[in-house]
Structure 1
Amino acid sequence: MEKRWLAHYPPEIPHTLEYPAKTLPDSLRETAEQFGDGVAIDFLGKTITFRELWKRVQAFARSLQALGVKKGDRVAIMLPNCPQAVISYYGALLAGGIVVQTNPLYTEHELEYQLNDSGASVLVTLDLLYPKAEALRGKTPVKHWVVTRMQDYLPTVKKWLYPLVQRKQKMPSVQIEENDAVHWFRSLVGQNEGAPLPVAIDPQEDIALLQYTGGTTGRPKAAMLTHRNLIANTLMCAHWVYKCEKGKETVLGVLPFFHVYGMTTIMNLSVMMASKMVLLPRFDVKQTLKTIERTRPTMFPGAPTMYIALLNDPDLPKYDLSSINVCISGSAPLPVEVQEQFERATGGKLIEGYGLTEASPVTHGNFVWDGERVKGSIGVPWPDTEAKIISLETGEEVPPGEIGELVVRGPQVMKGYWNQPEETAQVLRDGWLYTGDIGYMDERGYFYIVDRKKDIIIASGYNIYPREVEEALYQHPKVQEAAVIGVPDPYRGETVKAFVVFKAGETCSEQELDAFMRARLAAYKVPRLYEFRSELPKTAVGKILRRTLVEEEKKKLDKSSERSVK
C-alpha cells in the first residue's frame, strides 16, 4: 500500500510517534507536577488548578477503592461537562476501574440496558438525574450511587443564586438521603486524603473505557478502548496542532465528555498539554458567545451544527471571537460554506477531521497550518495511521478516485466490542477496522467521505450519496440546516427526500429550491420531496440523526398502509 499522503506532511509533524507506556492518570500526574499552579478548569467562573485537580482525583480514587472498586470494575459516569465529570473519569481510572460514559439524556430503558450490558457497579450522576437511576434499583448490577450537585463547583455568588435559577427554570427538587449505597460526591472527594492503593495497569492491554455506539443489530455496543488507544490518539492530536504551546492554550469545552470526540480532543488533550479547559454543561448559543468573549479560548473543537448556530445568531457581530486560532470539526460532515464563514468571523482556522468511536476517535484530518488544506476532504491519515479504500464487491484495494469502503488501522483502534465477538469479527479483520463509510482517495493521498454505506440511496439503479445533496442545499443562502434520506418509491425503488431548516426570518418555496438544486446536481440526485422544519433531530454532539428521520418516514408509511387496508 502506497502512503501517498506522507509526502504532504509538514516537517513539524512526524510520520511516526513514540508512545510511552503510561496510563491516562499518569498523564494528569505529570502535568500536575510540571504545571501545578496552572488553571486546569474554568467552570462558569470557578477555577481549579492542576495541583488541586490531581489531589481531588486521588481522593476520589481512594474513596472508590474504599467502596470496593477493584481493577477492571466498571464505573458509569452520567454527567454533563463539569469539574465532577473530569474528577470522576480520572479518579475511576486511577482506582483501576473501567469508565463507562453514559449520556445524561438516556431514558430509563436505555440506561438500564447500558448498566446491565457493562456490568457497572458504581454510577456517578447529578441529583437532578438521580430519580431516573434510583428507579432502576435492583434491576442492574449497580451497588453504589455517587451523587453530585451542579452548584458544588460553582463560584460563590452563583452557588447562592442557583436555587433561584432552579425555581425560575422549574427544575424538580430532589430529596436524597446518604446511606450505605448512596454517597455524596463532595464527601468522597473531601475524605481519604492521599494516594490511593497502587493498581498494576498494562496500558497496552488493559481497558480504560467502554464507549457505547450504535450496533448493526440495533443494540448499542461498547468499544473497548485501552489506555494506549486513548493516549496514542491524544498524542497524535497534540502533534497535529504543533503550534499550540504546552501550558499556554485555553480550550472551549462545550462538546460533551461523554462522547469520545469531546473526551479526546478537549479533556484528554487539555490534560496532556496543560491547557485550561473552559467547561459549559450544554451548548447554548448566547452563553457560548459570552464565554468566548470572557475566557478568550484559543481552541474550539466542535461540530458543524454548533458553528452553524453561532454564525446564524443575529448578535454575532457584537462579540469578539478573534482569540480562536484553531477549530477541529468532527462528528458530521463540515459544509464548505460553513467553514469559510466561520474562518471569516474568527480569523482562525477551521479544519475538518474524521474519526469514529472505535478509533478513539480520530484517524484523519486536514492540516491546520503549513500543509495544504483541501476543501471537502477529511484530509490525510494521522501519524502511524494507515488507511485504504477497498471494493465493496471484492474487498481488494481500489485505485485512487474509485469509490469503496474506508478501512483504517493504527494504535488508536479498539480491542473489539465488549462481549460481542460476532460484531467484533465483522469490523476488525487482520488488524483493519472496517468503518462502514464510503469514500475515495485522490491521486495525492487525500481522502473524501461520500457517505455511510447504510445511508446510500438507490434510485432507478443510481447510487445517490446524501452528503453530496446536503452540500448543495447548504449553498442556498436561506438554508441553515439540511438532511437528506431515501424514502420508498413505487417506480424508482427509492427517491430523495430533503428536510430543511431555514435561517431565522427566511423562507423559500419547493419550486425555488428545486430550480436551485437542478443547477448544481444531476437530475436523478435532486430531491423529489421536501419537508420544512423548525429543527432537526440531533445527538448530544449536534450530529443530525438521519436514522431518526428514516424511522419517522417508516412509521408514516406503516400508518398509511394500515389505512389503505381498512
Structure 2
Amino acid sequence: MDQQPLIALDPSWPAVSLAEAQAMLTAPGTKFEMETIEIRGVPTRVWKHAPPSLAWLAQAARAHGQNLFTIYEDERVTFEANYRAVATLATRLQAMGVVKGDRVALAMRNLPEWPVIFFAAASIGAIVVPLNAWWAAGELEYGINDSGARVLFVDDERYQRFVEAAPALPAVERIIVARASTPLEGRASRLEDLIGTPHDYATLDELPFPQVAIDTDDDATIFYTSGTTGNPKGALGTHRNLMTNIMSSGFGAARSLIRRGEAIPDPSPRTSLTVIPLFHVTACSAGLMGAVASGSTAIFMRKWDVVRAMEIIERERVHMTGGVPTIAWQLLEHPERAKYDLSSLEVIAYGGAPSAPELVRRIHEEFGALPGNGWGMTETMATVTSHSSEDYLNRPTSAGPPVAVADLKIMDDDGVTELPVGTVGELWARGPMVVKGYWNKPEATAETFVDGWVRTGDLARVDEEGFVYIVDRAKDMIIRGGENIYSSEVENVLYAHPAVTDCALIGLPHRILGEEPAAVVHLAPGMQASEAELQAWVRERLAVFKTPVAIRFVHETLPRNANGKILKKDLKMLFEDRASVAA
C-alpha cells in the first residue's frame, strides 16, 4: 500500500477482494460476462453483452423517450427528439453522398448539435473526426486534411475564426455551420436548414433510420493525439472501442458496490454537468456513451464558470461532475460556495491531470461525494483502469486497478522484458478498448501497437493487488487542466523566433491545474526578445493553453547529457520564485 488511507474506513471494508469482486461480476449469465474472441489476429477478452455499434445504440436510446438527454441554456432536448434529429441528419448525409468509410469532421463547442452530428455520421458507417475546437487555424487545417474529411461541421465561432479565411481544404465538399451569424456562400450551408434548431428536434418528421451494415470492429472515429515529435496523430477507433467503455464504466461502479458489500441496483438515469469538451475521449467515450446507454442527462456550458456551475448544480440537482481536478478545486474553494445547495452531488470524478491526495479527502469530507479517477489515453478510447469510492480513499495516489477486460504489464526499456511487481517501467495495456492504430501512419503504429498491446509511454508500477501508479511520463508531455501540451510542439514554435537559439519547455506543478508550461530560452548573441514578446509569438501560432506562463532567459546554452538531451530537471530551479504562487 502506498500510504495510509485519507480517512478512517469502515473496519468491515472491503467485504471481498478485488479478485472475488471480479469473479462475482463476470460469472456466466451476468451482465459483465466476458468471452474471448479474435480481434485483428489477437485473442482478446471482451464484454459479451456490450452493444454492437453506435448505430445500434442511437436507435436503442430512443426507448428513453421523454427523459432529457441534453440541456444547454434554455434548450432541453429529450431522447426522442434527439433520435429524430439523428435519423434526419443521417438521412441528409446519405443524400449528400456520404458512404461508409468517409470521414466527417466536427469542430465545435459542447452543444446539443454535437452528439446529433456524432451519432448521425457514425450510424451510416462514416468515420467521425472530432477536432479540438481550441486548436489554432493551422492545427485545425492539418487535422481536416490529414483525415481527408469530405464533410466538415463547425459552429459559428470556428467558422468565423477559421473557415471563412478560406483555408486550403481540398477534400472538403460541404461545410455545415451550426448557429451561423452571417450569410453563408459556396460550399458552406446552415445546419438548421437540415434539422432545425434544438428547439425543433421534437417536431421533426419521423424518418426511417438508415440501415447500414456495420461490424463491431469497423472504423468509427479518429481522435487526434500528439507525440513528442511531428504532427498530431489520429487514433483510429472502432465501434467496439466506444461500446467497451459503456460496460467498463458500469463495471467500475459495480465493483465499488461489491467491495462495500452492497447489492447492485438497477441502472437509473443520472444528471451530469459535462464541463470538459466532447472532442476528448474522456467526455465522449467515458461520459457521453454511458449517458446515452443509461438514459441520463448531460448538461453543457458554453464555457466553464464556477458560479454558473454551482447555479446549475443547485437548479438541476446534478449528481455528477468533474472531468479534470481543476473543476473540483474551484468548486471547493470558491468563496460563494456556501450560498448554493450542492448536496445532490454524489460523484466528482476526473482524469487527465495529476491530483493531490488532499483533493480526494476534501471531496469526500466537504461535499459528502465520492471521488473518482482512472487512467486511459486517446489510444485506449479512455477507460483502462477505474478508481473510486473507498478504494480511491485508501490509495489516493493510484489510478486504480484495470477493468476486467483489460490487461496491464510493466516493461523494461528493451520492450521485451516484463518487470516484476512494484518495479517502475513503461506501462503497456491490452484489451478491446485499444484502438486500431494511427490513421495513415504505419511506422508510428508499428512502434506503439505490438500484438494487441499499446505502449503507453507512461512510466508506472503495479502493486501486488493490481493497482497501477503512474509515476512519470516517458513521453515529454505536460498536462494543464486536462489539456495535453507536447513540449516539442511549443519548443519548435519558439525556435522559429529569429532571436531564439536554444529552448526547453518544462512543466511546473500547479495545485489547481496540475501543471503549467514554462520555458527556458537562450537568445542568439546580439539579439533581444522579452518574455511578453515570446509569449505572444507562441499564442499567435498555437492554442492559448500551450503558451508558457513564464519564460526565463539564460546566458549559456541549456545543459545536456552525453546523448545531447536537455536536462530539464535541472531547469526547474529557475522557477522557484513561482513555487509559492503555484502552491
TM-score (norm 2): 0.73
CA displacement at 1:301 relative to structure 2: 4.0
Sort the Cα spacing of 1:497 and 1:219 in 2 relative to 1 into closer, same or farther, 3 A: closer
Of 189, 198, 211, the residue aligned with 1:183 is 189
Sort the Cα spacing of 1:217 and 1:394 in 2 relative to 1 into closer, same or farther, 3 A: closer
CA distance in 2, matches of 1:391, 1:91: 44
CA distance in 2, matches of 1:263, 1:108: 23
CA displacement at 1:500 relative to structure 2: 6.0
Of 129, 134, 149, the residue aligned with 1:105 is 134
CA displacement at 1:345 relative to structure 2: 2.5
Trace 1:30-179 onto structure 2 (pairs within 5 A): 30-33=60-63, 35-131=64-160, 132-149=162-179, 174-177=181-184
Amino acid at match of 1:40: F
Sort the Cα spacing of 1:202 and 1:294 in 2 relative to 1 into closer, same or farther, 3 A: same
Trace 1:309-324 onto structure 2 (pairs within 5 A): 309-324=330-345
Query: Are the aligned partners of 1:115 and 1:140 in contact in 2 as well (CA < 8 Å)?
Result: no
**Is 2:223 the partner of 1:211?**
yes
Which one is further off, 122-131 or 182-191?
182-191
Of 356, 372, 388, the residue aligned with 1:335 is 356
Of 6, 19, 22, the residue aligned with 1:6 is 19
**Is 2:208 the partner of 1:195?**
yes
Trace 1:447-458 onto structure 2 (pairs within 5 A): 447-455=468-476
- Aligned residue for 1:23? 53
CA distance in 1, matches of 2:378, 2:423: 26
Amino acid at match of 1:202: D
**Is 2:247 the partner of 1:221?**
no
CA distance in 2, matches of 1:219, 1:136: 22
RMSD: 3.5
Of 428, 435, 440, the residue aligned with 2:449 is 428
Sort the Cα spacing of 1:63 and 1:560 in 2 relative to 1 into closer, same or farther, 3 A: farther
Query: Are the aligned partners of 2:108 and 2:133 in contact in 1 as well (CA < 8 Å)?
Result: yes
CA distance in 2, matches of 1:216, 1:419: 18
- Aligned residue for 2:39? none
SS of 1:265's partner is helix
Amino acid at match of 1:207: D
Trace 1:228-267 onto structure 2 (pairs within 5 A): 228-242=240-254, 245-267=266-288
Query: Are the aligned partners of 1:390 and 1:397 in contact in 2 as well (CA < 8 Å)?
Result: yes
How many residue pairs were aligned? Answer: 464
Sequence identity, in percent? Answer: 33
**Is 2:428 the partner of 1:407?**
yes
SS of 1:434's partner is strand
Trace 1:429-468 onto structure 2 (pairs within 5 A): 429-455=450-476
CA distance in 1, matches of 2:244, 2:462: 24
CA displacement at 1:11 relative to structure 2: 3.9
Trace 1:275-294 onto structure 2 (pairs within 5 A): 275-294=296-315
Amino acid at match of 2:172: V
SS of 1:342's partner is helix
CA displacement at 1:36 relative to structure 2: 1.0
CA displacement at 1:182 relative to structure 2: 1.9
Amino acid at match of 1:43: Y
CA distance in 2, matches of 1:495, 1:192: 57
CA distance in 2, matches of 1:105, 1:255: 12
Which one is further off, 119-128 or 184-193?
184-193
SS of 2:110's partner is coil
Sort the Cα spacing of 1:549 and 1:291 in 2 relative to 1 into closer, same or farther, 3 A: same
Query: Are the aligned partners of 2:252 and 2:387 in contact in 1 as well (CA < 8 Å)?
Result: no
Query: Are the aligned partners of 2:111 and 2:300 in contact in 1 as well (CA < 8 Å)?
Result: yes
Sort the Cα spacing of 1:220 and 1:395 in 2 relative to 1 into closer, same or farther, 3 A: same
Trace 1:316-395 onto structure 2 (pairs within 5 A): 316-368=337-389, 373-393=394-414, 395=416
CA distance in 2, matches of 1:394, 1:265: 29
CA distance in 1, matches of 2:415, 2:381: 28
Amino acid at match of 1:228: R
Q: Deviations over 1:115-138 (max 9, x none)?
A: 110001111111222131132354
TM-score (norm 1): 0.75
Amino acid at match of 1:203: T
Which one is further off, 23-32 or 241-250?
241-250
Sort the Cα spacing of 1:70 and 1:496 in 2 relative to 1 into closer, same or farther, 3 A: closer
SS of 1:125's partner is strand
Sort the Cα spacing of 1:397 and 1:8 in 2 relative to 1 into closer, same or farther, 3 A: farther
Q: Give 5+ residue unaligned stretches, structure 2.
A: 1-16, 27-31, 35-46, 197-203, 255-263, 488-502, 513-530, 559-583
Sort the Cα spacing of 1:63 and 1:500 in 2 relative to 1 into closer, same or farther, 3 A: same
CA displacement at 1:57 relative to structure 2: 0.5
CA displacement at 1:108 relative to structure 2: 1.4
Sort the Cα spacing of 1:365 and 1:500 in 2 relative to 1 into closer, same or farther, 3 A: closer
Query: Are the aligned partners of 1:5 and 1:381 in contact in 2 as well (CA < 8 Å)?
Result: no
CA displacement at 1:249 relative to structure 2: 1.1
CA distance in 2, matches of 1:75, 1:212: 14
CA distance in 1, matches of 2:441, 2:451: 17
SS of 1:454's partner is coil
CA distance in 2, matches of 1:502, 1:271: 34
Query: Are the aligned partners of 1:325 and 1:349 in contact in 2 as well (CA < 8 Å)?
Result: yes
Trace 1:519-558 onto structure 2 (pairs within 5 A): 549=548, 556-557=553-554
Sort the Cα spacing of 1:92 and 1:404 in 2 relative to 1 into closer, same or farther, 3 A: same
SS of 2:77's partner is strand
Q: Give 5+ residue unaligned stretches, structure 1.
A: 151-173, 457-465, 471-482, 486-493, 504-530
CA displacement at 1:21 relative to structure 2: 5.9
CA distance in 2, matches of 1:495, 1:105: 23
Which one is further off, 324-333 or 193-202?
193-202
- Aligned residue for 1:165? none
CA distance in 2, matches of 1:294, 1:343: 22
SS of 1:366's partner is strand
Which one is further off, 240-249 or 73-82?
240-249
CA displacement at 1:408 relative to structure 2: 0.6
CA distance in 2, matches of 1:226, 1:454: 25
Which one is further off, 212-221 or 186-195?
186-195
CA distance in 2, matches of 1:11, 1:374: 23
CA displacement at 1:244 relative to structure 2: 7.2
Sort the Cα spacing of 1:544 and 1:339 in 2 relative to 1 into closer, same or farther, 3 A: farther
Query: Are the aligned partners of 1:373 and 1:379 in contact in 2 as well (CA < 8 Å)?
Result: no
Q: Deviations over 1:330-388 (max 9, x none)?
A: 11122111111122232111122100000011100114368984211111001210001
